[in-house]
Each structure stands twice: as structure tokens, then as C-alpha cells.
Amino acid sequence: MYYRRTLTEAQINQQLLGTVLTTPLWWIVLVSLLGIVVAGAVGAVGWMINQGLGVTGLRQPVFWGFFITNFIFWVGISHAGVMISAILRLSQAEWRRPMVRAAETMTVFALMASLAMPLVHAGRPWRIFYWVFPYDWARGIWPDVRSPLVWDPIAITTYLTSSMLFVYTALIPDLAIIRDRSTGWRRSVYGALSLGWHGNPRQWKIQGFAGILLSALILPVFVSVHSIVSWDFSVSLVPSWHVTIFAPYFVIGAVHSGVSAVVTLMIIMRKLYKLENFIWEEHIDALARLLMVVALAWMFLFWLDLVFALWLREEQEITVWMLRMFEPPWSWLFFLFFMFSFVIPVPLWMFRRVRRSFTWMLWTSLLVNFGMFLERFLIIVPALMRKGPQTFTYATYRPSPVEFTIIFGTIALVCFLLLIFSKFFPLIPLWEEKEGQLLIDHVKVGNVYVPALVKEH
């Protein structure tokens, strides 16, 4: 139980700064391997820009494919950060402490990966500024604010900026600790970054306030981001996209995949960085409970989506769903999606043994994200394949090796950046851990000690 592990501040410093102050061999190997994959993907992007989008599997009418899938996938993952940090912070969930930093950082990197996707997806990415910024002052033509594709960059860059602020604000006390433990140029860099932090009460108060304020401000952004992404679809006329439920459905789905990704990340981190003293079964258990609630809500919305999609009995809507659910290979993907992101993990999580097993949780959380990638894919592609009643133009889509390379590249990129990050900053906030140690207590109820939280009265 909680009281098993009480660490001194010195122990906390020592164990959490280990990654920053030393460079193990596995880190170098891993970073190099991931770097190669990323370089491969960058090459693929270059090749694609050089040759044209013909190198993808896209074709009329499947104008959107893997890139947009991947875009939504990463935006989804990015929802973990805020879910864990902001919501759990606001609701004062104690168990958030070891995961906030990693989750927020993952959010930032996932957002970067997702932002890259619409860019490489565009026919003329070098004209991105025409898209995001007003580009022709002489004629006064501005981007068309009616287009969700204009809302997207605004929402995502806002989210990215605020997430980075979020990470940075929470990093300051830890930066000061590193500053105090390093010498030479590192000392000056960390010194500059830590903005003269000395941990006096005024600084703590401002830092705490900033955390709460940012949490509250970021929440609407958090909801808006995936809602806007969902409106890319629902404002269209494409059958099965043009549905009102997409915004909450996407957001909750994003939380599902994002929190699962946090689980995966925590378990891997724990193993790689030997963080057994900080990441406990209880944490994973709490995440799994959260996931169960999220997954149930998500399934409710999915069910509503399906029922109301079919109930108008519109030919085209039914055609799309039939393709999605009953025609191979889509039916296979649908089956996998459904099994992986719901049917297998959720019942398993009902068992305390599973929730508290790092192995089980690693695999189930990975399953969820694999399933959620398929979910996005199945939302996009079959709908475009059966977009309208013109059966004459029905077509299919098979992603090309270039697209696969780029998708794997984004996965490698996020891992790569996380590893690099961990080299310079602790993945678990030291001050959060210390604060947690302070606030924890136990109440004796009958014969057992129940962990308790100090109520700020």
C-alpha cells in the first residue's frame, strides 16, 4: 500500500535525476535506432514531395487516407496530457503525480507528429502559409474561416502552445534542482531556464496558481481540439461522417486512446528508467479504472452513432456501414478494432489482477491504441469509398509503402523525442512527488489503515 514506500527528498532527487545526469548505453542504442526510422520517414516525405502524391495509395474518391488517420490518431493521443494533468489536477486526484510530466510531454510531441500529417497530406505543402495565414494583402484574401481546415491549425497550435507552457511551468522547480547539481555551461543553461527559481513561498504560490489557471484554461482548448477535428468530418456531406455526435465521440475516443498511451508509456518508462519506487500498481490501477469509465462512455456514444446512422434508413449510410462492418477486408479490420479497443481490454480491466499487472496493462493498452488507429481508419476510408450513390465510381484504397513508412516514422519520432527529452529533464516531477509525500496520511478504520488525503481545510 501507499505507506510501503516513503522516500526521503534526497532519495527522490537521486532516483529521478539519474536519467538526466547519466547516459546509459541502451539509451544511445535506442535513440540511434529510432533516429534511423525517423530519417527514413523524412526521406519518404521528401520523396513524396518530390514525386507527387501519386506515390500514396490515394485515389478518387478516397482522397483522404493514412495521413489523416494518423493525424487524428496523434491528436487523440495528445488528449492524454490534459486529461491526466489538468482534469486530475483540478479534481485533486493524488495518483496523478508520477504521470503528469510524461503525459504532458507526450502531448506536446504527439501534437507535433499530428501537425506534420496534414502538411505532408497536402498536395502543395510548401504553400502552407497560404493556408494558415492571410497571404495576399494586396487583394485582401484571407483564409476562409468557414473551413474546418482553418479551425484545425488554430486549435492545434493553441493547444500545442498551451501544452508547452504547461510543461514548462511545471518544470521550473525541477530545472532549478538540476541547475544546482550541474556545472559549467549546463549550469548556465538550466539556470537561465529555471528563471531564478529558489523555491520561496511566493514562487511556489505563483507556480501553483499558474498550474491551476492553465489547467482551467486548457480544458476548453482540449475539448475544442478534437471537436474541431471531428467537425472536419461532420460538416461534410459524406455519409456516416455527417453526424452530430462526432464531437463528443471523438473527444472521448481521444481520451480513451490517450490514457491508454499513458499506461503504455508509464510501464515502459518504469522498466527503462527503473522507476519502481514511483510508478506503482496503484497508479496503473487508477488509470485502468479511469479507462473503464471512458471506454463505457465512448461505447455509449458509438452505439448512439450507429443506431442513429441507421435509423433514417438512408441507402448510402447503410451502404457505408455495411461495407465497414460486413465486407472483407474492412469487416476484419472492424472486428479487430472492436475487439482491441473494447471487447478484449474492458472486461479484462474489471479484474483487479489485470489492473495491477504491468504486463497485462502494457498489452491491453497497446491493443487499445492499435484498435483506435483502426477506428479512425474505418471512419475515413470506407465512408469515402461509398461516398455517394454513384456506384460507378466506387473505389478502394490500399496504403502504399511510403505511407506506412511515414506512419511508423511518426511513432518513432514521438518515442525519439521523449527519449531526448528524458535526457535533459526528469520524466517524473520531483516536486510533485515531494508534495505527494507530504499530503499523504492514513486513517485507521477498524483494523486496517486506509490511505487518506490531507484535506486542505
Partner 1 sequence: MATQTKPQSATDRSTAFKWSMVIDLDRCTGCEACVVACQSENNVPINEESAFIEGRAFEWIRLERYWEGEWPDIKARFIPVLCQHCENAPCEPVCPVYATYHNNEGLNVQVYNRCVGTRYCGANCPYHARQFNFWEPVWPEDLRHQLNPDVTVRTRGVMEKCSMCIQRIRRATRSKTPSDIPDGAFNPACVQACPTSAMTFGNLNNPESKVSKLQNDERRYHMFEHLGTAPTTLYLKQVDTHGA
Partner 2 sequence: MAHEEHAIPQVPTHQEIASDIMARFQNVNQRYWSWVSLLALLFVGGIVGFVMRLSDGFDDRSNWGYYTATLSFLASTFLAMPIISAGLRLAKANWRRPLTRLTENMAITGVLIWFMLIPALIALPPTEGRLSVWFDFPHWMAFRGGNLMVWGTVVLIGLFLLWLLAVPDLAAVRDHMPASPRGKLARVLSVGWTGNTRQWRVLHSGALLFGAFYLLLYPTLQTLLQADFQAGLLPGMKDAIAPATALINALQGAVGLTLVVMYVMRRFGGYERYFGIDQFWALSKPLLAFSLLWFYFWWGSFITFWYGRQPGESELIRFMVLDSYRYPLMVSFMLNFIGPLVALVWNPVRRSIWGPTIVGAGVLVGALVNHIRWYVAPFSVPDPPAGEAWPHVLPEIPAGQLPGAADALIVVGGIAGAVLLFMLINKIIPVVSMWEVGEGLRLVKVRRFLARYAMVIAKSH
Partner 3 sequence: MGLTRRQFLKWAGVTGVGAVVFNGCRVPDHEIQVQSPVELPEDLVTGRDNYYATVAQVGSGSEGLLVRVMEGRAKKVEGNPDYPLNTGKHHIRSEAMLQATYHPDRIKSPMVRIAKGGPFRAIGWPDALERLTKILGDADPANVLLATGPVRGKLADVTKLFAKDYGAQALGFDPIDQHVLRTAIKNIYDQDVLPDFDIAHADFIMSFGADFLGTWIDPTHYMRGYGEFRQGEDRAERGHLVHVDSRFSVTAAAADEWKYVNPGTEGLLALSMAHTIVTEKLGDAGAARALTGGADNHLSSFSADKVASQIGMSADAITNLAHKFAGTRGRALAIGGGSAGAHTNGVFNLTAIYALNYLVGSVNVPGGVIFNPAGDQSQITGAPIRDWKAALDAMRSGDIKVLLVRDANVVHGLSKQLKVTEALDKLDTIVSFSSFLDETTARADLILPGHTPFEEWGTDTPDVGPGYRTVAFQQPVINRFRDTMAFGDVLIRTASELGHAMPWESMRDAVRAAARDLHSTNRGSVTQPTFEEFWKRSLERGGWWDQGDTVSGTPTPPVLPRAAVKAQIAGDAKVFPLHLVPFEGHAIGTGQYAHLPWAQAVPDPITTVVWTTWVELNPKTAESLNVKQDDVVTLESATGDFISVPVYVNPATPPDVASVPIGQGHEQFTTYAAGRGSNVLDILAQAEDSDTGSLAWASTRVRLTKTNVRVGLPKLEGIEEPRQLPGEPVIVVFRPGEEDDSHS
CB 54, min distance to partner 1, A = 4
Helix 9-21 and helix 148-181, axial crossing angle in degrees, nearest 10: 110
Is residue 186 near partner 1 by the rule CB under 8 A? no
Is residue 226 near partner 1 by the rule CB under 8 A? no
User: Cα separations (Å) of 205 from 170, 208, 296?
Assistant: 13, 5, 38
CB 374, min distance to partner 1, A = 20
Could you give the CA distance from residue 400 to residue 139 in angstroms, rounded to a whole number? 40
Could you give the CA distance from residue 189 to residue 209 in angstroms, rounded to a whole number? 26
Q: Do 56 and 402 touch, CB atoms closer than 8 A? A: yes
Question: Per-residue x/- mask for partner 1, residues 64 to 93, rule CB under 8 A?
Answer: x-----------------------------
- φ/ψ of 147, rounded to 5, equals -85, 130
Q: Which stretch binds partner 1 (CB under 8 A): 69-77, 143-151, 275-283, 331-339?
A: 143-151
Among the listed residues 360, 160, 334, the one whose alpha carbon sits nearest the alpha carbon of residue 260: 360
Residue 231 near which of partner 2, partner 1, partner 3, none (CB within 5-8 Å, type-dependent)? partner 2
Residue 18 near which of partner 3, partner 2, partner 1, none (CB within 5-8 Å, type-dependent)? none
Residue type, 420: I
Of positions 207, 236, 277, 316, contacts partner 3 by CB under 8 A: 316
Could you give the CA distance from residue 182 to residue 350 in angstroms, rounded to a whole number? 46
Is residue 347 near partner 2 by the rule CB under 8 A? no
- Taking the least distance from each CB to partner 2, the nearer of 395 and 453 is 453
Q: Which stretch binds partner 3 (CB under 8 A): 89-97, 101-109, 293-301, 311-319?
A: 311-319
Footprint on residues 212-231 left by partner 2 (CB under 8 A): 220, 223, 227, 231
With contacts defined by CB under 8 A, how many residues of the chain interact with partner 3? Answer: 30
Q: Do 110 and 73 touch, CB atoms closer than 8 A? A: no
Is residue 242 near partner 2 by the rule CB under 8 A? yes
Q: Do 452 and 441 touch, CB atoms closer than 8 A? A: yes
Among the listed residues 373, 365, 372, the one whose alpha carbon sits nearest the alpha carbon of residue 267: 365
Of positions 13, 319, 357, 369, contacts partner 3 by CB under 8 A: 319
Q: Which stretch binds partner 3 (CB under 8 A): 77-85, 107-115, 175-183, 386-394?
A: 386-394
Of positions 248, 316, 434, 437, contacts partner 2 by CB under 8 A: 248
Residue type, 117: M
- φ/ψ of 5, rounded to 5, equals -120, 105
Residue 39 near which of partner 3, partner 1, partner 2, none (CB within 5-8 Å, type-dependent)? partner 3
Is residue 309 near partner 2 by the rule CB under 8 A? yes
- φ/ψ of 77, rounded to 5, equals -55, -40
Residue 131 near which of partner 3, partner 1, partner 2, none (CB within 5-8 Å, type-dependent)? partner 1
CB 433, min distance to partner 1, A = 45
Q: Do 354 and 22 touch, CB atoms closer than 8 A? A: no
Q: Do 417 and 96 touch, CB atoms closer than 8 A? A: no
For residues 137, 139, 145, 147, the Cα torsion angle rounded to the nearest 10 degrees is -120
Could you give the CA distance from residue 63 to residue 294 in angstroms, rounded to a whole number? 32
Residues 6+ apart with CB under 8 A from 348: 354, 360, 364
Copy the grid coordinates of residue 22.
Answer: 547519466
CB 273, min distance to partner 3, A = 30
Site residues (CB under 8 A) for partner 3?
A: 39-40, 42-43, 45-47, 49-51, 124-127, 136, 138-139, 141, 314-316, 319, 389-396
Contacts with partner 1, residue ranges (CB under 8 A): 51-54, 56, 58-61, 63-64, 118, 121-125, 127-128, 130-131, 135, 141, 143-144, 146-150, 232, 235-238, 384, 387-393, 395
Given the rule CB under 8 A, which residues bind partner 2? Answer: 220, 223, 227, 231, 234-237, 242-248, 300-301, 304-305, 307-313, 441-443, 445, 450-457
